[in-house]
Chain A
Amino acid sequence: MSEVAVADGRTARRGRLGTEVLPVGERLDARRALQLSLAAIWLLDAVLQYQAFMYSKGFTQMIGGTAAGNPSVIARPISWNATLVEHHLVLVNTIFATIQLLIGLGIAFRPTVRVALAASIAWAVGVWWFGEGLGGVLSGAGSPLNGAPGAVIIYALLAVLLWPADRDAAAPFIAGRAVGAHLARALWLVLWLSLAYLALTPANRAPQALNGVIAGMESGEPGWLAAADRGAASLVANRGLAASVVLAVALVLIAVGVYLPRPAAKATLLLAILVALVIWVFGEALGTILTGGGTDPNSGPLLVLLALTYWPVAAATRPTRPVGTEGMAV
């Protein structure tokens, strides 16, 4: 039944509608909040997978297209997968969507968070290969602006970093708690340096390369986003090398930022969030979700979420016991 609005003052704040009095120390753990954000993105993925486009030949062509340029040992399984999907499109795509739905719901549902995170890692690695062609890293088609090194592999990385265990409970950021601060920093460094490297590959530093990537996203988008893409594309027209160098420098700064003192680290994390948002809006057109053909929101939101997992946390906010470890030794 419904609720009655109540109260003011101190009591009311403690007993606000739709909330409950949480004993001190039981407020939402920062890692749990990040897990829930990851769950929300998985759920969004799942819902997008049920779209009409995913039940059309366009989807299988999209999968098959990721084989191009990859070594045959990588490309052959991709082609096999595309053929399988084409022959059993409705069944296979529905299974895909439902798996993602279960992963999203499973991460949000506390008793199954570990199982769901583990499943998400396995699923993400499989999709990275069979569905995204390793994000174009080996084919030379990957660019930080179009989602390289593959949005889905960032899901797996986030699942590892947000795993509900405390190997290093004193880590200065959430990502370090599950795998240790040193390894977490190394993973961050590798990711962002690889993005910097990809920004400088010949295909991406060509005079019209960035312009082409951005302008190519305009089709089918709502007016405001198409206009924004047009503006950004004209800004980098014939300035591919300069734009790539600027982007690469920013990415290198971001990569080393987690090794810097706290204020500088925060600044570089803010830069990471800004760059991720710029990539998401201008390079990825919000994952082309607004065209009805996006399979996922692409890498932008995941890079933002990743940056937040490295945000320095105060000692006082570090939690006591991770969700998903009830009744087990951590």
Chain B
Amino acid sequence: MTPAWILDIFAALMLVVAAVSAARLVVARPWQRGSALLDTDVSHLLMGIAMAGMLASGLTTLSNTAWVVIFALLTAWFAFRVLVDARANGVRALAGGHCAPHLVHGAAMVFMFGALAGPAGGGGSGMSGMDGSSGSAMQTLRYPTLAFVFALILIGYSIWDIDQLSGRRYSTTPARVAPVAVAVPAMVGAEPATATLPSPRATGAAAADGVPSGSAASAEARPAPGGYGGGAAARGLLLSPATTVGCRIAMGVTMALMLLLMI
């Protein structure tokens, strides 16, 4: 059996991701008008908690059914985002757009919670401890082929993200891009969004900031509340696209691990 302490390490990593995502939500104040959208961070927060609950035998979270519903909604949302992206930018956005990895993450979560095999699948938590037991017997997944396919895609996106992150494609500071008003559907529950349509110049500015155009940070049309005074560096790093991508890498690798452990 895979030792429980190894799974606990990954569970702790997921809780760190969830905490970082929660901190980003708090610091960026997405409930304020004009603030940036929040779907990625909400997604990371929920996935971090859910995955930690699956990995660590001592953690009890929601029921599997509740998680399936939550992640199905998130998956539908990201699918919509990917389609919008594809309509605007061509079919390559289906796989290469920013929302595509989030879509895969969401779908993988639905699969993991929905395809748990046997009676262990009916309970709340504990990939390593079925429904709270202290052992390290793994739950298994129906459709191992699908689990393998998901794992491969997750690994691919994670490797790509690491390459892009180390190539400084993502800024470690919040981006500042002058918005050009184009109405597009925004986040569930958010204010009607003013999207940033990067003009060639604006896009260049984003690139100069090391920020993927049209990416998370490019939606932040103005500096986050609080300016760039004391503690701004830490705050800036917290809100930066690099932090989002770092969380995504940790989540992707851990999710791939879980899928393969449950085959």
One of A14, A16, A47, A56 near B260 (C-beta < 8 A):
A47
Evaluate contact between B144 and A39: CB separation under 8 angstroms.
no
Evaluate contact between A51 and B167: CB separation under 8 angstroms.
no
Evaluate contact between A20 and B207: CB separation under 8 angstroms.
yes
In the complex, whether B110 has a CB less than 8 A from a CB of chain A is: no
Minimum CB–CB distance for B240 against chain A, Å: 10
Minimum CB–CB distance for B140 against chain A, Å: 8
Instruction: Tell me whether A2 and B38 are in contact in the complex, defined as CB-CB below 8 angstroms, given that A11-B198, A286-B148 are known contacts.
Output: yes
Evaluate contact between A94 and B6: CB separation under 8 angstroms.
yes
In the complex, whether A7 has a CB less than 8 A from a CB of chain B is: yes
What chain A residues lie within 8 Å of B155 (beta carbons)? 40, 43-44, 47
Evaluate contact between B216 and A14: CB separation under 8 angstroms.
no
Evaluate contact between A14 and B156: CB separation under 8 angstroms.
no
What chain B residues lie within 8 Å of A104 (beta carbons)? 159
Evaluate contact between B93 and A17: CB separation under 8 angstroms.
yes
**Roughly how many angstroms separate A39 CA and B155 CA in the complex, as a whole number?**
9
What chain B residues lie within 8 Å of A5 (beta carbons)? 81, 84-85, 88, 99, 184-185, 195, 214
Chain A interface category by residue count: 35 or more
In the complex, whether A160 has a CB less than 8 A from a CB of chain B is: no
Minimum CB–CB distance for A181 against chain B, Å: 27
Q: Which residue of B lies closest to A19 (CB)?
A: B212
**Roughly how many angstroms separate A12 CA and B165 CA in the complex, as a whole number?**
22
Instruction: Tell me whether A289 and B162 are in contact in the complex, defined as CB-CB below 8 angstroms, given that A18-B212, A50-B257 are known contacts.
Output: no
Main secondary structure of the interface of B (DSSP, over half): helix
Chain B interface category by residue count: 35 or more
Stretch in A70-78, A106-114, A126-134 with 4+ CB within 8 Å of B: A106-114
One of B145, B210, B213 near A224 (C-beta < 8 A):
B145
Q: Which residue of A lies closest to B209 (CB)?
A: A20
Instruction: Tell me whether A20 and B211 are in contact in the complex, defined as CB-CB below 8 angstroms, given that A11-B200, A44-B152 are known contacts.
Output: yes
Minimum CB–CB distance for A91 against chain B, Å: 10
A-B contact pairs, 25 of them (CB 8 A): A1-B28, A1-B217, A3-B37, A5-B81, A5-B195, A6-B198, A7-B214, A11-B197, A16-B90, A17-B85, A18-B101, A20-B207, A21-B207, A21-B213, A40-B156, A40-B159, A43-B253, A44-B152, A47-B151, A47-B155, A47-B253, A52-B2, A110-B163, A110-B167, A289-B260
The 9 A-B residue pairs whose C-beta atoms are closest, nearest first, are: A18-B98, A15-B213, A1-B36, A2-B37, A4-B195, A108-B162, A17-B98, A15-B203, A110-B166
Please give the residue numbers on chain A whose beta carbons come within 8 Å of chain B beta carbons, in ascending order: 1-8, 11-21, 32, 36, 39-40, 43-44, 47-48, 50-52, 55-56, 90, 94, 104-105, 108-111, 222, 224-225, 286, 289-292, 323
Please give the residue numbers on chain B whose beta carbons come within 8 Å of chain A beta carbons, in ascending order: 1-3, 6, 24, 28, 30, 35-41, 81, 84-85, 87-90, 92-93, 96-101, 136, 138, 140, 144-145, 148, 151-152, 155-156, 158-160, 162-163, 165-167, 169, 182, 184-187, 193, 195-200, 203-204, 206-207, 210-220, 239, 244, 253, 256-257, 260-261, 263
